[in-house]
Amino acid sequence: MPNASLPPPVVLVTGASRGLGRGIALQLASAGCSVAINYAGNLAAAQETAGLCAARAASAAQRFVPVQADVGVRADRERLVAETLAQLGRIDALVNNAGIAPRVRADIAEATEESFEEVLRTNLQGPYFLTQKVVQYWLAQKPACALPTGFKIIFVSSISADTASVARGEYCISKAGVAMAAQLWATRLAAEGIQVVELRPGIMATDMTTGVKEKYDRLLAEGLVPQRRWGTPEDVGLAVQAVIGGSFPFSTGAVIPIDGGFGIRRL
């Protein structure tokens, strides 16, 4: 993946301390990238991700740096970009992965505005404006890109972007918004040579789903997902690696499902 005449590409991955973000960081490490490992509060997990990345690195020039920032807070987003540039010297791709489920799964007839605001701020406003910050850097500074097919932005949405779950309406709305954010940025940035892709995971085995594991184990056994297994962080990491490595060069605005066939209409 790296261009031999430039330093290793730097990818900023939000929410990379655990779960899907860690899986993304690990694949990028194997592919020769340096990674800014954003996390919200779990420094130990972020350091563990950094150590696992270092063990997989393809060259000694790669670096793996934890950077704390709440993507839902404007000042934190600005500091996240500034610290990544200060510590790693460049940004070649942004993976907007960080996200939260509602603290309580509540029927939309009862759910609170506080939960709506928290989930929308983190899952939608955060990646939308973090993207704006990184794009401003690219457009203003015009840095050379270390990736073979140019700068990339990836949004990690969810099947919840178009699958209604009435016990977490705010999450579904946030992910539907992320899907539109990806379309908007893809449209705005195509002529700048910057590619934007949405990855849409299905039912994935991470901390986010531990509380509903038995329910999903049962639904998987009943065939809800044609491939009949949980998705893994590696499934998402491999897709990110393919996009960032340049395997989808003519596919800006693409929506790539990582859901084991969940989205197939069946009879």
Residues that bind ligand NAP (CB under 6 A): 14-21, 38-42, 45, 70-72, 97-100, 122, 156, 158, 201, 203-204, 206-209
> Considering beta carbons, is residue 9 or 237 the nearer one to ligand NAP?
237
Residues contacting 91, CB < 8 A, separation 6+: 10, 11, 12, 36, 81, 84, 85, 134, 137, 138
- Inter-residue contact 27 to 245 (CB < 8 Å): no
> Considering beta carbons, is residue 14 or 27 the nearer one to ligand NAP?
14
> Considering beta carbons, is residue 33 or 203 the nearer one to ligand NAP?
203
Cβ of residue 83: shortest distance to ligand NAP, in angstroms? 13
| Number of residues in the chain | 267
Which of the residues 39, 128, 171, 216 is marked catalytic?
Answer: 171
Cβ of residue 126: shortest distance to ligand NAP, in angstroms? 6
- Inter-residue contact 10 to 35 (CB < 8 Å): yes
> Considering beta carbons, is residue 106 or 220 the nearer one to ligand NAP?
220
39 carries an active-site annotation:
no
Among candidates 12, 5, 6, which has minimal Cα distance to 152? 12
Residues contacting 250, CB < 8 A, separation 6+: none
Give the residue numbers annotated as catalytic, written as ranges: 171
